[in-house]
Structure 1
Amino acid sequence: MKKSVVLYPGLGVGHLTPMVQLAQVFLQHDVDVTIALVEPPVKSPDFAKVVARAAASNPSITFHVLPPPSSAPESSNPDGSPKHHVVQMFEFLGAMNAPLRDFLRSLPSVDALVIDMFCCDALDVAAELGLPVYFFYASGAGDLTVFLQMPSVHARMTTSYSELGDSVLSLSGAPPFKVSDLPADVTKDSDAGNLIWRMFERMPESNGILVNTYESLETRAVRALSDGLCVPNRVTLPVYCIGPLVSAGNGEKEHECLRWLDAQPDNSVVFLSFGSLGTFPKKQLEQIAIGLEKSGQRFLWVVRTPPGDDHKHGEPLPEPDLDSLLPDGFLERTKERGLVLKSWAPQVEVLNHRATGAFVTHCGWNSTLEGVTAGLPLLCWPMYAEQKMNKIFIVEEMNLGVELKGYDKEIVEAEEVETKVRYMMDSEGGRALRDVQNRRRTGRPRRSRKEAHLMLLLLNS
């Protein structure tokens, strides 16, 4: 009888995309795969579009949208103030345990459940049904080493994170880093922070963790995880490096930016894109534009509309008005060597285009791996979540990029943008980074190694 696995990605396109890549690996070994989806509590037409597109592109995967919980958690506190979006997410996913349990019971057989890291409450469902359960950590091994150790660090603290400021922490598997490099939500004495630490405390309750990375990219971190250094006084948790799981793209061939890239010289264009949630205020967009113009380099830049004060987390943003957001005359003055796109670009296709020579990125892990596998040096501009930690590993451990100074302050100045873009595109240092990237690219593991890990996982389940 064929093996079957259910993947549970939780909320967000950024978590669904690598789960779909993981599903494709299972399929190659004749394993039935179902992805159980959670419709966001904030209704959006984008969700249906993403699911439809994923289903059309992956006909061998069963996509099942779970029904909403019978009683959705309140989005407001007793005093009427809105709950933090992280608290809302965890509470909503916790309420989804009942629909998930009912769905799993309805299936003829399930051999394993693979859950997104934010779906930690689903551990209780797996325990009730006697199912092997594995976490899928969609970010890197470096972050994971830190976050698995932080609950015990947090428990021993006698002061607040705010009082620690820029104090330096040294943990197994990671270079020294500042407390301020941790995600903002976890350094606050808040319900959101406590829920995140609880999530990492619960990870060792699983049968193992699948990490979207590969050993030669994050050698020290993987070794620390495998040696049990990150969960002291607990049973060493099996860790499976199953990456790089990277999107094959949307098959775009006729997008205007790809035709524009076709007309540019090899390795001549810097690509700027900051993920589906990456937005900047008008003042910052103007500084980026001035820096790009003064650099004299070719560029392809994705601009998103800055959210208004009344914008709710998760709601789609309107199309940007480039003429009002960018400096007067910028688009006309740079039209011979630059192209600005509204809201979206076919990122995988752009990164792998022969004309693209560097990537200015928010350091989201999906984008990081897409840049690494395309052989591009990274200009790091972290914005939220674990991205500051990713930046540390990219710059200090992997030696695959440089940071744009000022990202953690009020603004990155135009002069910094100009200097770093020139360095990356027209200096020996930038060329050396590109050479390192290409060596890393050719040093990736063969797919058979990744598949061997997954088959071992299922055979032992």
Structure 2
Amino acid sequence: MNKTMVLYPGIAVSHFLPMMQLADELVAHGYAVTVALIDPAVHQQIAFAATVDRVVSSKKHAIRFHMLPRVELPPATSTDDGDGDFFLLGYLDLVRRHNACVHDFLRSMPPRGVHALIVDSLSVEALDVAERLDVPGYAFHTGNAGAFAVYLQLPSIRGEGDPSFRELGDTPLELPGLPPMPASHLFAELLEDPESKVYKATMDVSRKNSRYSNGFLVNTFESLEPRVANALRGSRGHRRRGPALPMPPFYYVGPLVEKAGERGERDERRHECLTWLDGQPDRSVVFLCFGSTGAGNHSAEQLREIAVGLENSGHRFLWVVRAPIVSDDPEKPYDLRAEPDLDALLPAGFLERTGRRGTVVKLWVPQVDVLHHRATGAFVTHCGWNSVMEGVVAGVPMLCWPLYAEQKMNKVLMAAEMGIAVEMIGWQQGLVAAEEVEGKVRLVMESEAGGELRARVTAHKEAAAAARADGGSSRAAFAEFLSDADNRQFTRTSS
């Protein structure tokens, strides 16, 4: 009988998809995989529910999916911290309320039948459940090692009486293995009052990752982040049941990204944007896309600035546009399927004037396929780590436009450490002007500096392929993780 790995993914598209790539790797190595799911309908995120449906449908013959029972939830306002309703508090509360369901599910499996439990790094409290059941537990971080290193070190950075991260503003934080990281670039939850619920919850999750996990799987590869990998290898962790023990081991197993043409039922009819790209010269098109959650939707004013900048740049473009968010009512979740009115949002005559060299697509394109197309020459991205990894694997230089979560930290690492991107500065003032859009597009597409970006990202593309190949660093790290899980299982069964 195959050894069974239980995966407990996060409840967001950017957390869920990489873990499904990890599931594929485990299946390829001969493990049985069961995925425990929180009912997507509970979270009221349309994009997430649609993604889960697609993945379950395409992988159900190779992977077992188990929907956890729904639990009673409090009114949405119960997570209000005095400064608004924070996504993180609701997320953590939802996961916490499902811990009893995870406990019952693990107990329902055959004795010693769970080889290991792998949870999303935001669902780390479930590892306490695994520990009580004597099941080896690991955390999977879907972002990069650098941002995760910042996150894990936060409790030791700020002592009692020190200025808050919000008070530090743009003061750079000096952390082992990382370039100077402005305090203002941390997660938004950490820029709140240190006495607030959301700040304390964020710090608590950071501590629990080190306390509960037997190891961290990270969606990166070592040569992309060598300094932080070396720093973490020799770091000391927080206190775990008494004396200080080494930080749990890190396994850099990436890049775990979807392959071109790997989107199941969508492959049955080729997207029209790919046909349009077929008619464009090699490396001539600037691709603009800002994630799948809806949090990356730009204002009408910002859309107009982008349009003017693209038109004035003179370059070909493929631009994915979503309608601006007009309601913050938590009882009415934003519908990602709401089509934008391009005639109303974009400058008069823009579509007609640029129709020969540009195309605007509503809502969605097969991003991986676009990035791998020979015509794509640059990628304007919100710096979500999945998108960054997809850009690296495709060998496309990037323009950074961070919007939320850890994306500002990713931007620093991409531009200052990895050398694969340039930054759109205007995001810091809340509006990237048309002049900057035009100038940065020209820089990447025309200048010597843009050529150097391309050379570096091409080198990282080759390194990514080598890391995942036989004898590569990621392949070796994955084997090391499996060996550790096997050894822990042997210890359990022989005790």
Deviations 1:160-193 (Å, cap 9, x if unpaired)? Answer: 2332111121011111121111121112122112
CA positional deviation for 1:56: 2.5
1:458 corresponding residue in structure 2: 485
1:242 to 243, 247, 253: 253
**Does the 8 A contact of 1:8 with 1:116 survive in 2?**
yes
The answer to which structure has the higher helix fraction is: 2
CA positional deviation for 1:361: 0.4
Instruction: Tell me, in whole angstroms, the C-alpha distance in 2 between the residues paired with 1:111 and 1:161.
Output: 40
1:147 corresponding residue in structure 2: 151
Instruction: Tell me, in whole angstroms, the C-alpha distance in 2 between the residues paired with 1:43 and 1:161.
Output: 31
Aligned with 2:102: secondary structure? helix
1:337 corresponding residue in structure 2: 357
User: Is the counterpart of residue 112 in structure 1 residue 116 in structure 2?
Assistant: yes
User: Is the counterpart of residue 387 in structure 1 residue 407 in structure 2?
Assistant: yes
2:200 corresponding residue in structure 1: 194
CA positional deviation for 1:331: 0.8
User: Is the counterpart of residue 446 in structure 1 residue 468 in structure 2?
Assistant: yes
1:284 corresponding residue in structure 2: 302
Instruction: Tell me, in whole angstroms, the C-alpha distance in 2 between the residues paired with 1:334 and 1:418.
Output: 14
Change in CA separation of 1:219 and 1:35 when aligned onto 2, cut-off 3 Å: same
Instruction: Give the TM-score normalised by structure 1.
Output: 0.95
Q: What is the identity, as a one-letter code, of the residue corresponding to 1:269?
A: V
Deviations 1:404-458 (Å, cap 9, x if unpaired)? Answer: 1111112000000000001111111111111111111112213442542342233
Q: Which region of structure 1 is more displaced relative to structure 2, 176-185 or 440-449?
A: 440-449
Aligned with 1:216: secondary structure? helix
Q: What is the identity, as a one-letter code, of the residue corresponding to 1:7?
A: L
Change in CA separation of 1:369 and 1:158 when aligned onto 2, cut-off 3 Å: same
**Does the 8 A contact of 1:267 with 1:356 survive in 2?**
yes
**Does the 8 A contact of 2:236 with 2:246 survive in 1?**
no
Instruction: Give the number of equivalent residue pairs.
Output: 460
CA positional deviation for 1:39: 2.1
Q: Which region of structure 1 is more displaced relative to structure 2, 304-313 or 377-386?
A: 304-313
Structure 1: stretches of 5+ with no match in the other structure:
none
1:127 corresponding residue in structure 2: 131
**Does the 8 A contact of 1:10 with 1:119 survive in 2?**
yes
Instruction: Tell me, in whole angstroms, the C-alpha distance in 2 between the residues paired with 1:358 and 1:447.
Output: 26
CA positional deviation for 1:365: 0.3
CA positional deviation for 1:80: 11
2:492 corresponding residue in structure 1: none
2:335 to 316, 321, 334: 316
User: Is the counterpart of residue 29 in structure 1 residue 48 in structure 2?
Assistant: no
2:209 corresponding residue in structure 1: 203
Identity across aligned pairs (percent)? 47
Q: What is the identity, as a one-letter code, of the residue corresponding to 1:315?
A: Y
Deviations 1:24-75 (Å, cap 9, x if unpaired)? Answer: 1100111000111112434455554322311232220112221112x32342
2:491 corresponding residue in structure 1: none
1:217 corresponding residue in structure 2: 224
Instruction: Tell me, in whole angstroms, the C-alpha distance in 2 between the residues paired with 1:15 and 1:315.
Output: 19
Change in CA separation of 1:56 and 1:222 when aligned onto 2, cut-off 3 Å: same
Q: What is the identity, as a one-letter code, of the residue corresponding to 2:218?
A: V
Please give the residue correspondences for 1:225-374 in structure 2 after superposition, counting only pairs within 5 Å. Answer: 225-228=232-235, 233-248=244-259, 249-250=262-263, 252=267, 254-277=270-293, 278-312=296-330, 315-317=334-336, 318-374=338-394
Instruction: Tell me, in whole angstroms, the C-alpha distance in 2 between the residues paired with 1:239 and 1:373.
Output: 22
**Does the 8 A contact of 1:26 with 1:454 survive in 2?**
no
User: Is the counterpart of residue 405 in structure 1 residue 418 in structure 2?
Assistant: no
Aligned with 1:210: secondary structure? strand
**Does the 8 A contact of 2:136 with 2:485 survive in 1?**
no
Q: What is the identity, as a one-letter code, of the residue corresponding to 1:203?
A: N
Instruction: Give the TM-score normalised by structure 2.
Output: 0.89
**Does the 8 A contact of 2:207 with 2:238 survive in 1?**
no
Structure 2: stretches of 5+ with no match in the other structure:
489-495
Aligned with 1:402: secondary structure? strand
1:159 to 129, 145, 163: 163
Instruction: Tell me, in whole angstroms, the C-alpha distance in 1 between the residues paired with 2:440 and 2:168.
Output: 30
Aligned with 2:222: secondary structure? coil
**Does the 8 A contact of 1:11 with 1:39 survive in 2?**
no
CA positional deviation for 1:78: 9.2
Please, what is the CA RMSD of the aligned residues?
A: 1.9
Instruction: Tell me, in whole angstroms, the C-alpha distance in 2 between the residues paired with 1:161 and 1:227.
Output: 26
**Does the 8 A contact of 1:37 with 1:64 survive in 2?**
yes
Change in CA separation of 1:433 and 1:458 when aligned onto 2, cut-off 3 Å: same
Instruction: Tell me, in whole angstroms, the C-alpha distance in 2 between the residues paired with 1:76 and 1:33.
Output: 37
Q: Which region of structure 1 is more displaced relative to structure 2, 425-434 or 391-400?
A: 425-434
Instruction: Tell me, in whole angstroms, the C-alpha distance in 2 between the residues paired with 1:388 and 1:432.
Output: 23
Deviations 1:304-335 (Å, cap 9, x if unpaired)? Answer: 11111344385323111111111111111111
**Does the 8 A contact of 1:143 with 1:386 survive in 2?**
yes
Please give the residue correspondences for 1:17-56 in structure 2 after superposition, counting only pairs within 5 Å. Answer: 17-40=17-40, 41-43=42-44, 46-56=47-57
